[in-house]
Amino acid sequence: MEYSYPLDLDWSNEEMLQVVAFFNAIEKYYESQVEGEDLLNRYQQFKNIVPSKAEEKQIFKTFEKQSGYNSYQAVKSVQTSPNQKYFSSKEK
């Protein structure tokens, strides 16, 4: 898939890398497998960079339009059982 990540040019390089790492974990959730705890840790790093709920929603919406992956649903799903490993339906 060819798409770009929703990044803010005001973020530092380190912050951009952390946001990309979070979206990589979302991709793993939908495409292969991801440890729930890893995805939640990356989400927490994302929230340190994007504390605003409104900005988070906008970034998630932009990412979903480009990738088809719903970040909110992935995080919500993992929050119920963070110690689990999540496999995509493609893996089954």
Domains of the chain: 13-87 (1.10.220.80)
Please tell me whether residue 34 adopts helix, strand or coil conformation: strand
Q: Give the Cβ contact number of residue 52 at 10 Å.
A: 10
pLDDT of residue 17: 98
pLDDT of residue 92: 40
Report in angstroms the alpha-carbon separations of 62 from 21, 38, 40, 58, 71: 16, 23, 20, 6, 10
* pLDDT band with cut points at 50, 70 and 90 for residue 2: confident
What's the predicted TM-score (pTM) here?
Answer: 0.91
pLDDT at 91 over 80: no
Write out pLDDT tens, residues 38-81: 999 999 999 999 999 999 999 999 999 999 999 999 999 999 88
